[in-house]
């Protein structure tokens, strides 16, 4: 008697879909790809071979024999339609789509639970790093007060490139695009939204509540300039775009923002397009996971491991009703204290520093250090004043930046960076 092989329907033969097909063809795995849906399937016949293919989602959705659908199309509208339909038809779902899950995960996970099927989403966060399964299974019983991650390879590449190759932001971005590390429209990477999608999924797993990514404090790297990178480097620090989950005094703080880290920080050496996640376990101590955050095969392998996880019938906390997600909301980050780096491009004229320090003092911001590379002669170009503060509330920083803008001292955009304490 022939052993029953689970049947997979694959949506999307782009980079990840092709990688997945390649791995499957080279391996001996206990399932079969029964159908492929791709809008330009006709141009990909050499890849597809004898597998039934179409541009019509019905080929997979209407096939009652298909147990698991894999969605690696990207975008939101079509995947949302497909995944809803698949869950309604009691098919398990594997997706790499963090955007979709961050936006519609609450409804989709609820639907999956009602229908007794699973959603695998390992590939949606940090590519090949198996952080979802490690949080969902191995560390599900651990208390995790702190998690920090470099969850976006594009911004990490740009920041590394600015530091090591002394390139300013636009050049570094262009390099990333040339290398295929940034989208033609890199807005979601640069402005922090992509990392916020991923952090929302991780924070939901840790807190066992549903976190809406819209409630995460997010700042991008788009206003950083080579000056910020070189000043922080002179001080012995590095700038990283860090996604952070922090439980402190019973309050949950969530942020994605460019942050200053010190030597010895776990994420110090995570460079270029690598991703990494560090977390504290109350019992098990500090953990770090480092790996490829993107790419055809790394992402495809995570999809494969989700497929196998479902086929093996392994534990899934949502279906097991160990996790009945309710919405939860992070506390406003303004309630949290930090030391800050501030760069102020100002007019090069007498009295400016006095004006600035007066405003800081009135707002109870205590200065740890001030730096200015004054030109020998006054100039019409703005000069940078760099201030590092002692710990203060973030709202004080917002206050003084507003005041400085009104006072017309600023000759360009002020930049501030939080100092990471960990």
Residues forming the site for a copy of itself (CB under 8 A): 19, 23, 27, 29, 128-130, 133-134, 137-142, 266, 268-269, 281, 283-292, 295, 297-298, 300-302, 304-305, 308-309, 312-315, 320
Residues 181 and 334: their CA atoms lie apart, in Å, by 33
CB of 3 or CB of 408, closer to a copy of itself: 3
CB of 301 to a copy of itself, least distance (A): 4
CB of 140 to a copy of itself, least distance (A): 7
**Taking every pair of C-alpha atoms in the chain, what is the biggest distance, in angstroms?**
90
Q: What are phi and psi of 299, to 5 degrees?
A: -70, -45
- Closest separation in Å from C-beta 267 to a copy of itself: 11
Marked catalytic residue, from 7, 198, 240, 292 = 198
Q: Which C-beta is closer to a copy of itself: that of 40 or that of 312?
A: 312
Joined together, the tokens standing for residue 256 give 């994605």
Minimum CB separation of residue 276 from a copy of itself in Å reads 8
Question: From the centroid of its chain, how far is CA 362?
Answer: 37
Which pair of structure tokens corresponds to residue 241?
A: 């775009």
User: Nearer Cβ to a copy of itself, position 222 or 291?
Assistant: 291
CB of 110 to a copy of itself, least distance (A): 22
- Name the DSSP class of 3: P
Q: Select 129 or 356, whichever has its Cβ closest to a copy of itself.
A: 129
The distance from CA 390 to its chain's CA centroid, rounded to whole angstroms, is 29
Q: Which parts of 68-145 are beta strand (E)?
A: 68-71, 92-95, 119-120
By C-beta, is 69 or 277 nearer to a copy of itself?
Answer: 277
Q: What are the residues whose beta carbons fall under 8 Å from the beta carbon of 83, sequence distance 6 or more?
A: 69, 71, 93, 95, 100, 108, 119
Beta strands per DSSP E along 250-313: 251-261, 274-281, 285-292
Q: Is 408 a catalytic residue?
A: no
- 3-state secondary structure labels for all residues of 157-181: HHHHHHHHHCCCHHHHHHHHHHCCC
Q: Are strands 415-419 and 251-261 parallel, antiparallel or unpaired?
A: parallel
Q: Comparing C-alpha atoms, which of 390, 394, 399 is closest to residue 370?
A: 390
Beta bridge partners of 239: 260
The nearer residue to a copy of itself, 300 or 323, going by C-beta atoms, is 300
Cα 135 from chain centroid (whole Å):
16
- Return all residues near 240 (Cβ < 8 A) that are at least 6 apart: 150, 156, 159, 258, 259, 261, 267, 270
Choice between 128 and 346, CB closer to a copy of itself: 128
Q: Are 277 and 149 in contact, with CB atoms under 8 Å apart?
A: yes
Nearest CA-CA partner of 186 in 202, 178, 104, 121? 178
Q: How far is the CB of 312 from a copy of itself (least distance, A)?
A: 4
Shortest Cβ distance from residue 305 to a copy of itself (Å)? Answer: 5
Query: Residues with catalytic annotation?
Result: 198
């Amino acid at each position: 008697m022939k052993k029953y092989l689970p049947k997979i329907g694959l949506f999307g033969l782009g980079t990840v879909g092709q990688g997945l097909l390649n791995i499957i063809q080279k391996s001996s795995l206990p399932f079969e790809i029964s159908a492929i849906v791709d809008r330009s399937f006709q141009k990909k016949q050499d890849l597809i071979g004898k597998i039934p293919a179409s541009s019509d989602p019905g080929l997979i959705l209407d096939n009652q024999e298909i147990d698991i659908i894999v969605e690696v199309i990207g975008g939101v509208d079509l995947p949302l339609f497909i995944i809803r339909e698949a869950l309604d038809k009691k098919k398990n779902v594997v997706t790499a789509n963090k955007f979709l899950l961050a936006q519609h995960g609450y409804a989709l996970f609820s639907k999956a639970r009602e229908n007794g099927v699973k959603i695998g989403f390992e590939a949606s966060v940090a590519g090949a790093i198996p952080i979802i399964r490690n949080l969902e299974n191995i560390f599900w019983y651990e208390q995790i007060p702190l998690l920090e991650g470099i969850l976006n390879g594009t911004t990490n590449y740009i920041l590394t490139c600015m530091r090591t190759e002394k390139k300013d932001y636009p050049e570094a971005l262009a390099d990333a695009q040339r290398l295929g590390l940034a989208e033609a429209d890199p807005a979601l990477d640069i402005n922090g939204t992509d990392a916020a999608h991923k952090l929302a999924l991780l924070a939901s797993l840790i807190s066992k509540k549903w976190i809406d990514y819209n409630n995460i404090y997010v700042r991008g790297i788009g206003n950083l300039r080579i000056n910020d990178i070189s000043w922080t480097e002179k001080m012995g620090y590095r700038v990283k775009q860090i996604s952070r989950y922090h439980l402190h005094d019973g309050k949950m703080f969530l942020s994605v923002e460019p942050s200053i880290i010190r030597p010895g920080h776990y994420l110090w050496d995570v460079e270029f397009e690598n991703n990494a996640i560090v977390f504290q376990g109350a019992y098990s101590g500090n953990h770090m996971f480092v790996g490829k955050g993107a790419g055809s095969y790394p992402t495809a392998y995570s999809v494969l491991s989700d497929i196998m996880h479902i086929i093996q019938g392994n534990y899934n906390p949502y279906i097991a009703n160990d996790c009945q997600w309710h919405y939860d909301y992070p506390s406003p980050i303004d309630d949290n204290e930090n030391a800050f780096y501030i760069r102020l491009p100002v007019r090069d004229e007498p009295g400016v520093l006095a004006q600035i320090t007066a405003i800081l003092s009135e707002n109870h911001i205590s200065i740890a250090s001030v730096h200015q590379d004054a030109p020998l002669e006054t100039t019409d170009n703005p000069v940078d004043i760099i201030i590092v503060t002692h710990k203060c509330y973030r709202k004080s920083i917002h206050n003084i930046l507003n005041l400085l803008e009104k006072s017309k001292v600023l000759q360009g955009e002020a930049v501030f960076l939080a100092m990471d304490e960990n």
